[in-house]
Amino acid sequence: MMEKKSTHILNASSNLLGFSLIIITSLKISKISQNTHLDEFAGIACLFFAFSCFFSFLAIRSKHEKRSNRFETIADYLFLTALFCIVLAVIIVTMKFI
Protein backbone atom coordinates (compact mmCIF):
# COMPACT_ATOMS: atom_id res chain seq x y z
CA MET A 1 0.00 0.00 0.00
CA MET A 2 1.23 3.48 -0.85
CA GLU A 3 1.93 6.01 1.88
CA LYS A 4 -0.67 8.74 2.24
CA LYS A 5 0.45 12.09 0.82
CA SER A 6 -2.56 14.16 1.85
CA THR A 7 -0.91 15.80 4.86
CA HIS A 8 2.12 16.77 2.78
CA ILE A 9 -0.09 18.14 0.00
CA LEU A 10 -2.13 20.14 2.51
CA ASN A 11 0.99 21.62 4.11
CA ALA A 12 2.68 22.51 0.81
CA SER A 13 -0.52 23.82 -0.79
CA SER A 14 -1.38 26.08 2.11
CA ASN A 15 2.15 27.51 2.19
CA LEU A 16 2.22 28.10 -1.55
CA LEU A 17 -1.29 29.58 -1.41
CA GLY A 18 0.10 32.22 0.96
CA PHE A 19 3.06 32.77 -1.36
CA SER A 20 0.71 33.23 -4.35
CA LEU A 21 -1.43 35.70 -2.41
CA ILE A 22 1.70 37.70 -1.56
CA ILE A 23 2.59 37.77 -5.27
CA ILE A 24 -0.86 39.10 -6.19
CA THR A 25 -0.82 41.68 -3.39
CA SER A 26 2.65 42.95 -4.30
CA LEU A 27 1.67 43.17 -7.98
CA LYS A 28 -1.42 45.21 -7.14
CA ILE A 29 0.48 47.52 -4.80
CA SER A 30 3.30 48.11 -7.30
CA LYS A 31 0.82 48.52 -10.21
CA ILE A 32 2.80 46.02 -12.33
CA SER A 33 -0.19 43.74 -12.95
CA GLN A 34 -1.51 45.76 -15.90
CA ASN A 35 1.55 45.05 -18.07
CA THR A 36 1.92 41.30 -17.48
CA HIS A 37 -0.04 38.11 -17.03
CA LEU A 38 1.59 37.53 -13.66
CA ASP A 39 -1.52 38.25 -11.64
CA GLU A 40 -3.59 35.91 -13.83
CA PHE A 41 -1.13 33.04 -13.33
CA ALA A 42 -0.88 33.78 -9.61
CA GLY A 43 -4.68 34.01 -9.33
CA ILE A 44 -5.16 30.69 -11.08
CA ALA A 45 -2.46 29.18 -8.86
CA CYS A 46 -4.31 30.51 -5.79
CA LEU A 47 -7.52 28.83 -6.87
CA PHE A 48 -5.79 25.52 -7.59
CA PHE A 49 -3.82 25.63 -4.32
CA ALA A 50 -7.03 26.41 -2.39
CA PHE A 51 -8.88 23.51 -4.02
CA SER A 52 -5.85 21.29 -3.47
CA CYS A 53 -6.00 22.18 0.23
CA PHE A 54 -9.71 21.41 0.27
CA PHE A 55 -9.40 18.00 -1.40
CA SER A 56 -6.37 16.98 0.64
CA PHE A 57 -8.29 17.91 3.80
CA LEU A 58 -11.23 15.81 2.58
CA ALA A 59 -8.82 12.93 1.90
CA ILE A 60 -7.47 13.15 5.45
CA ARG A 61 -10.96 13.30 7.00
CA SER A 62 -12.63 10.68 4.82
CA LYS A 63 -13.35 7.36 6.50
CA HIS A 64 -13.70 5.49 3.19
CA GLU A 65 -10.37 4.36 1.71
CA LYS A 66 -11.48 4.53 -1.92
CA ARG A 67 -12.95 8.03 -1.54
CA SER A 68 -9.88 9.16 0.38
CA ASN A 69 -7.61 7.94 -2.43
CA ARG A 70 -9.75 9.73 -5.03
CA PHE A 71 -9.63 13.00 -3.08
CA GLU A 72 -5.88 12.65 -2.64
CA THR A 73 -5.38 12.09 -6.38
CA ILE A 74 -7.48 15.17 -7.20
CA ALA A 75 -5.49 17.23 -4.66
CA ASP A 76 -2.25 15.95 -6.15
CA TYR A 77 -3.16 16.98 -9.70
CA LEU A 78 -4.49 20.37 -8.57
CA PHE A 79 -1.24 20.96 -6.68
CA LEU A 80 0.83 20.06 -9.74
CA THR A 81 -1.22 22.39 -11.95
CA ALA A 82 -0.88 25.25 -9.46
CA LEU A 83 2.85 24.64 -9.25
CA PHE A 84 3.05 24.88 -13.04
CA CYS A 85 1.26 28.27 -12.90
CA ILE A 86 3.78 29.54 -10.33
CA VAL A 87 6.66 28.36 -12.52
CA LEU A 88 5.15 30.26 -15.47
CA ALA A 89 4.91 33.38 -13.30
CA VAL A 90 8.56 33.00 -12.28
CA ILE A 91 9.58 32.58 -15.93
CA ILE A 92 7.69 35.77 -16.84
CA VAL A 93 9.40 37.68 -14.03
CA THR A 94 12.79 36.32 -15.05
CA MET A 95 12.30 37.25 -18.71
CA LYS A 96 11.21 40.78 -17.72
CA PHE A 97 14.39 41.36 -15.73
CA ILE A 98 16.82 39.88 -18.27
What are the sequence ranges of the domains in the chain? 8-22+35-97
Tens-digit pLDDT profile for residues 53-64: 999 999 999 999
17's CB contacts (< 8 A; 6+ apart) are 46, 49, 50, 53
Q: Tell me, what's the pLDDT at 91?
A: 87
Question: Per-residue confidence at 4, pLDDT binned at 50, 70, 90?
Answer: confident
Tens-digit pLDDT profile for residues 28-56: 888 766 666 788 888 999 999 999 999 99
The pTM is what?
A: 0.86
